[in-house]
Amino acid sequence: MRHIGSFGLVIILLALAGCASGPISRADASGFEERGEASYYAAKYQGRATASGELFDQNSMTAAHKRLPFGSKVKVTNVANGKSVVVRINDRGPFVSGRIIDLSKSAFQRIGNTNAGVIDVEIEVY
């Protein structure tokens, strides 16, 4: 049996650590909370397929999250003004450091000004 060198061990440990941040099961999603930044989809994504297979619609109350199950209902609250909106997760993302959720433009407009582009939010799964 071959021995794993310290470099190989580091690679294995990093791979296992990456698994810990994988998808959240539907059972574990209930009550999940997170705080970070929210952004909204650019107009060019209108009508394109999301990761769930649905076509993206800027006028719907939907969002993208990296790990929450598709169909999860999430309350998104703008921490600056206290306004909230409930969205349904139907896509994966965002893939920008610090951002935790991408909202449809319509959902973003209900809690913040689109001129800001990014707002601080708290999210909670129902």
Domain boundaries, the chain: 24-125
pLDDT at 38: 98
How many helices (H) and strands (E) are present in the chain, helices listed first? 3, 6
pTM given for the model? 0.81
Domain 24-125 adopts which CATH fold? Barwin-like endoglucanases (2.40.40)
All residues at 6 or more sequence positions from 40 whose CB lies less than 8 Å from its CB, including other chains:
102, 103, 104, 105, 107, 108, 114, 117
Q: Is the pLDDT of residue 17 over 50?
A: no
Among candidates 48, 89, 84, 88, which has minimal Cα distance to 65?
89
Q: What is the mean pLDDT of the chain?
A: 88
Q: Tell me the per-residue pLDDT of 72-118, one tens digit each, with 9 for 90 and over.
A: 999 999 999 999 999 999 999 999 999 999 999 999 999 999 999 99
Q: In the numeric block, which tokens belong to residue 103? A: 């909202």
pLDDT band at 2 (very low <50, low <70, confident <90, very high): low
pLDDT at 19: 43
